[in-house]
A and B are shown apart, each in its own frame.
Chain A
Amino acid sequence: MASILKVDTITGVTTAGSIAVTGEGNSTTTNLQQGLVKAWARLDGTGTVGLDDSFNNSAATDVGTGNYGYNFTNVMNNANYHCSFAASCQMQIFSAATTAQARILCRDQNNSNEDVDQAFNSVNGDLA
């Protein structure tokens, strides 16, 4: 029977921040909170730097040419989170991480910083 659960907040019973979800093969479980992306964004780095679309990002920071900061709305618990980047340039470098911001450097084929139209990021890890 199909079912729909209407709820605003899901909380674990044993541990509030830990909920198990049955895996696709039905033989194991995965942790809901640990598997969820905690922030993602598409950033426009040309002209006035800004966010085209995002989740849990409050703003983009223009640090310099090809140098951008993704500022989190809800900060991470520590700076050891996982981050993936992609951008319309030759190379992307994850240059710095704090609990409140992940920073990326975009470089061209000559290894010079370059402004880009699109810079994507996604973050996994522990929220504060």
Chain B
Amino acid sequence: MASELRVNTLKDASGNNSIATSFVASGSAKCWVNFNGTSTAATRDSFNLSSLTDNATGDFTISFSSSFSNNDYTVGGTTRSPGVISGGGYQAPADSDSDQATGSLRAYTISLSSGSLSVADLSYCYPSLHGDLA
């Protein structure tokens, strides 16, 4: 039987390790993705992702199943690309405010090679988002 529990604070059975349920809700990642950005972009695993769109080289749109309440959510993440010799990568969260919407995020993956930055498809991309759901 489905059930709903309404509570302000969680503690272990000994009464220790107290945490407010607001921290549980606000402190949890609201979306994360592990995807391959090379060739046809493909998701390996994800949470709260409805679709991943490959817009162009190193240019992706991540659409959420459940939207955020505003576009002030945070974006973090890592990339890696074993094929990039003498380089690595990182993720630019968004190019402008318009790229960060409540229902989707447009994000870019960037390669660093021999001191030069360029937008590039990378084989392992790991964006994660925290904020308030609608």
Contact = CB atoms under 8 A, between A and B. Distances in A.
B26 A24 contact: yes
Interface string B27-62: 011101110000000001101100000000000000
Given A25-B134, A111-B87, A125-B45, A7 B126 contact: no
A25 B133 contact: yes
A80 interface: yes
B47 A35 contact: yes
B8 A3 contact: yes
B24 A13 contact: no
A23 B25 contact: yes
B7 A35 contact: no
Contacts of B9: 2-5
Interface in A8-45: 8, 10, 13-14, 21-25, 27-32, 34-37
Contacts of A83: 78, 126
Interface residues of A, number: 44
Contacts of B133: 23-25, 27-28, 30
B50 to A, nearest CB: 13
Interface string B1-37: 1110111111111110010010011101110111000
Contacts of A92: 78, 88
B108 interface: no
A4 B3 CA distance: 17
A94 B28 contact: no
Contacts of A94: 78-80, 124, 126
Contact of A4 (B11, B26, B44, B134): B11
Interface of B: 1-3, 5-15, 18, 21, 24-26, 28-30, 32-34, 44-45, 47-48, 66-67, 69, 76-80, 82, 86-90, 112, 114, 124, 126, 128, 132-134
6 contacts: A4-B9, A14-B2, A24-B26, A30-B48, A35-B28, A83-B126
Interface of A: 2-8, 10, 13-14, 21-25, 27-32, 34-37, 78, 80-85, 91-95, 105, 107, 111, 122, 124-126
